[in-house]
């Protein structure tokens, strides 16, 4: 099991009435299965996990497992309470997840000290039947990753790595240089995928891998092959699309970019708002530019 390579945080398509569109989800999985991806993440931030109930979450894990029986399948299982995370982790593993990605709890941010987070992740890892990956995404949680925490947790036998989504390459560098090689750090911010690889990331769990997987995979392959010039060119070609998705339109924009690439983004779930028609005009050439880079 390894985060090496590119993993899409799968989106969760909804119908216009807000119900889960499992068939669109399955169609996307089939379409993405042959694109050279290293694995698949369900129930991440881009999967709108925050707005799903438990039944829906487990249905998504089970569907992914059923369709892709031999591929690496990660599931996001972080809740606000330790017991809630443990319970969901066990159910997700039962439903077929190979490993779990556990978000930092963050509602009581000022109380989420390095000590509180350490005890939290250790308790979850102690109870988890599958490997645990740490997940930090300050843009959503408002919680910066504490210095030194990754290195402390890396000694736990069931904590296998981290998805670092802040986009702060110096943080990623410092984490990588503080942990043993078996602890893999994956970049969760496509704005810095190539620089993060240079800084020691094992791979990327990247939203745009849902819509332009070939380009993202090609970037990673170029890096692995030592072709820095090509890796940087693809990174540069991805930037406008990544900026539009990450900064301007969010998941709603990502879903429209998927439509353009022949997948089925579906609606977002309220209170998220669907992307305005203008977004389509803006996104179309950016998707094309990213695809042409390969």
Residues at the site binding its own copies, with contacts judged by CB under 8 A: 18, 45, 50-53, 79-84, 105, 107-113, 115-117, 119-120, 123, 139-142, 167-170, 173-174, 177, 189, 191-192, 194-196, 198-200, 226, 228, 232, 235-236, 239, 243, 247, 250-252, 269-273
Q: Which is nearer to its own copies, 72 or 222 (CB)?
A: 222
Q: Furthest-apart CA pair in the chain: how many Å?
A: 49
Q: Which is nearer to its own copies, 36 or 84 (CB)?
A: 84
Residue 99: beta bridge partners?
74
DSSP string for residues in 37-71:
-S-EEESSGGGTGGG--HHHHHHHHHHHHHH-TTS
Q: How far apart are CA 165 and CA 9, in angstroms?
A: 12
Q: Least distance in Å: CB of 54 to its own copies?
A: 9
Q: Least distance in Å: CB of 194 to its own copies?
A: 7
Catalytic residues: 163
Q: How far apart are CA 169 and CA 202, in angstroms?
A: 13
Q: Which is nearer to its own copies, 97 or 176 (CB)?
A: 176
Q: How far apart are CA 216 and CA 206, in angstroms?
A: 8
DSSP E strand boundaries for 125-257: 132-136, 159-164, 184-187, 203-205
Q: Least distance in Å: CB of 198 to its own copies?
A: 4
Hey, is 135 helix, strand or coil? strand
Q: Which is nearer to its own copies, 15 or 66 (CB)?
A: 15
Task: Report residue 127 CA to chain centroid gap.
Answer: 23
Q: How far apart are CA 65 and CA 43, in angstroms?
A: 13
Q: Least distance in Å: CB of 68 to its own copies?
A: 27
The sign of the CA dihedral 171, 176, 180, 181 is positive
Q: Which is nearer to its own copies, 23 or 81 (CB)?
A: 81
Using alpha carbons, select from 260, 265, 207 the residue that is nearest to residue 238: 207
Q: Least distance in Å: CB of 26 to its own copies?
A: 22
Q: Which is nearer to its own copies, 117 or 211 (CB)?
A: 117
Task: Report residue 273 CA to chain centroid gap.
Answer: 21
Hey, is 227 helix, strand or coil? coil
Residue 57: beta bridge partners?
none
Q: Least distance in Å: CB of 272 to its own copies?
A: 6
Quote the radius of gyration of the chain (alpha carbons, Å). 18
Burial status of residue 162 (CB atoms within 10 A of its CB: 0-12, 13-18, 19 or more):
buried
């Amino acid at each position: 099991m390894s985060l090496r390579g590119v993993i899409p945080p799968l989106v969760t398509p909804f119908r216009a009435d807000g119900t889960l569109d499992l068939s669109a989800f399955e169609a996307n999985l089939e379409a993405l299965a042959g694109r050279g991806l290293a694995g698949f993440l369900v129930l991440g931030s881009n999967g709108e996990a925050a707005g799903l109930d438990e039944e829906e979450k487990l249905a998504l894990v089970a569907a992914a497992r059923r369709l892709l029986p031999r591929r690496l399948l990660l599931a996001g299982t972080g809740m606000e309470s330790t017991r809630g995370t443990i319970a969901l982790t066990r159910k997700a593993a039962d439903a077929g997840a190979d490993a779990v990605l556990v978000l930092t709890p963050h509602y009581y941010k000022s109380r989420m000290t390095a000590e509180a987070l350490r005890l939290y992740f250790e308790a979850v890892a102690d109870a988890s039947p599958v490997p645990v990956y740490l997940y930090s995404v300050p843009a959503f949680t408002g919680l910066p990753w504490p210095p030194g925490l990754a290195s402390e947790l890396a000694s736990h036998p069931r904590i296998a790595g981290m998805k670092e989504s802040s986009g702060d390459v110096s943080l990623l560098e410092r984490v990588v240089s503080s942990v043993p090689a078996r602890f893999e750090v994956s970049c969760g911010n496509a704005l810095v995928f190539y620089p993060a690889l240079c800084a020691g990331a094992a791979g990327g769990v990247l939203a745009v891998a849902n819509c332009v997987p070939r380009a993202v995979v090609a970037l990673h392959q170029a890096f692995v092959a030592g072709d820095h010039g090509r890796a940087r060119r693809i990174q540069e070609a991805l930037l406008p699309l990544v900026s539009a998705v990450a900064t301007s339109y969010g998941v709603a924009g990502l879903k429209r970019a998927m439509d353009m690439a022949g997948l089925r983004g579906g609606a977002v779930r309220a209170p998220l708002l669907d992307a305005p028609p203008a977004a389509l005009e803006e996104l179309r050439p950016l998707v094309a530019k990213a695809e042409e880079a390969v």
